[in-house]
């Protein structure tokens, strides 16, 4: 399917105080690391090619995604285009070592490279991870580097120890890489807004990737604890998980999750209220989800996991969909949207 938007420019915003200007929609690299299903090389190339032709200019990946497979595939594509036409973000906190296929714990990944993940937020571990990423990507630049997954979602009660290690090691490594102009921006990529705030209070970060916590279904905590310090310190915010792992695209059904877990009853109730209002105005829920998240001017970009070329087209159409102002008023009146949230 040809994307009719490929000749028009996508909206862009500056990332905090950096000289990086990001497209409103970014490419999230988890699916091309075989998240939940195995993708063939041609499918990966097609979705990346359509993203690029659609003027998406931020590509986010991680060694964690398919044990290096996402970086490998992304690099194979990006080496075919002008390196000044995109920005690349990857993450640190895990380095890879070769391992026999049968001994690898792949978690939720349906495949990937035959490497073992080694968790390491130390200075040396992060430098090792960063160098490995360069080799897997096989391209000459990484623009943004993020400390990955130092949050309660990943580590539970052990998060405090990992935070201390990351600030003593990973943070200092990224500061050095930024000072040497190897990378343009440093930050964290986490699943909780209070961890963004905690890092922001402790270090000099350019940006944060926040997953699942500034969405139509869940945004209060970000407004309370993170967004005020982000605005004060001019920290760029990139959102991930604006569909909360699928519910805001696929609805409530079998095998549909909320932030990769079972859907809580209160979320089902909230979703059904959203559905009723969207049906009233004949507006797709994904359009409302995307435009809600981007309406806040603190948000520089939204990285979306896309594993089919047509998903790129659908996301752009939803982002550009005309939404009547009365729909937003109804969502606020039903207490779906916090009244502090901008909606236009």
Q: Which amino acids are annotated catalytic? A: 60, 65, 91
Report the pLDDT averaged over residues 59-71.
Answer: 98
Neighbouring residues of 110: CB distance < 8 A, sequence distance ≥ 6: 34, 35, 36, 37, 38
Check if the beta carbon of residue 298 is closer than 8 Å to that of residue 231.
yes
pLDDT of 6 reads 52
Task: List domains and CATH numbers for the chain.
Answer: 12-333 (3.20.20.100)
pTM score, whole prediction: 0.96
pLDDT at 112: 95
Report CA-CA distances (Å) from 280 to 77, 122, 275, 336: 42, 53, 9, 15
Residue 57 tokens read as 């200019």
Strands 21-23 and 12-14: antiparallel
pLDDT in tens, 156-194: 999 999 999 999 999 999 999 999 999 999 999 999 999
pLDDT score recorded for residue 225 = 97
In this prediction, residues 250-266 reach a mean pLDDT of 93
Angle at 133 between CA 204 and CA 37, to 5 degrees: 110
For residue 103, the 8-state DSSP code is G
Check residue 3 and give its pLDDT.
46
What tokens does 155 get? 């580590």
Q: Is the pLDDT of residue 218 over 70?
A: yes
């Amino acid at each position: 399917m040809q994307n009719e938007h490929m000749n028009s420019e996508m909206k862009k915003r500056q990332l905090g105080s950096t000289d990086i200007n990001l497209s409103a929609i970014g490419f999230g690299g988890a699916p091309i690391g075989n998240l939940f299903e195995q993708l063939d090389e041609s499918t990966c190339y097609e979705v990346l090619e359509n993203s690029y032709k659609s003027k998406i200019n931020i590509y986010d990946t991680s060694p964690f995604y398919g044990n290096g497979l996402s970086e490998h595939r992304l690099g194979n594509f990006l080496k075919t285009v002008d390196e000044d036409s995109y920005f690349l973000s990857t993450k640190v906190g895990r380095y890879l070592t070769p391992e026999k296929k049968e001994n690898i714990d792949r978690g939720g990944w349906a495949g990937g490279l035959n490497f073992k993940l080694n968790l390491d937020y130390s200075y040396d571990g992060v430098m090792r991870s960063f160098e490995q990423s360069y080799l897997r990507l096989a391209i000459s630049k990484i623009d943004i580097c993020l400390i990955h997954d130092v949050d309660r979602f990943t580590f539970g009660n052990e998060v405090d120890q990992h935070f201390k290690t990351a600030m003593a090691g990973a943070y200092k490594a990224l500061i050095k890489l930024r000072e040497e102009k190897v990378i343009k921006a440093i930050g964290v990529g986490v699943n909780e807004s209070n961890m963004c705030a905690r890092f922001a209070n402790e270090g000099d970060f350019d940006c944060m990737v926040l997953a699942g916590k500034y969405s139509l279904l869940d945004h209060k905590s970000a407004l309370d604890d993170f967004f005020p310090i982000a605005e004060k310190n001019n920290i760029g915010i990139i959102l991930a998980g604006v569909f909360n792992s699928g519910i805001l695209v696929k609805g409530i059904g079998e095998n549909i999750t909320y932030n990769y877990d079972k859907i809580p009853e209160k979320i089902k109730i909230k979703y059904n209220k959203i559905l009723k209002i969207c049906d009233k105005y004949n507006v797709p829920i994904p359009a409302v989800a995307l435009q809600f998240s981007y309406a806040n001017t603190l948000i520089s970009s939204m990285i979306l996991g896309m594993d089919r070329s047509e998903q790129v087209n659908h996301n752009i159409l939803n982002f550009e969909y005309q939404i009547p102002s009365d729909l937003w008023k109804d969502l606020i009146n039903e207490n779906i949207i916090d009244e502090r949230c901008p909606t236009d």
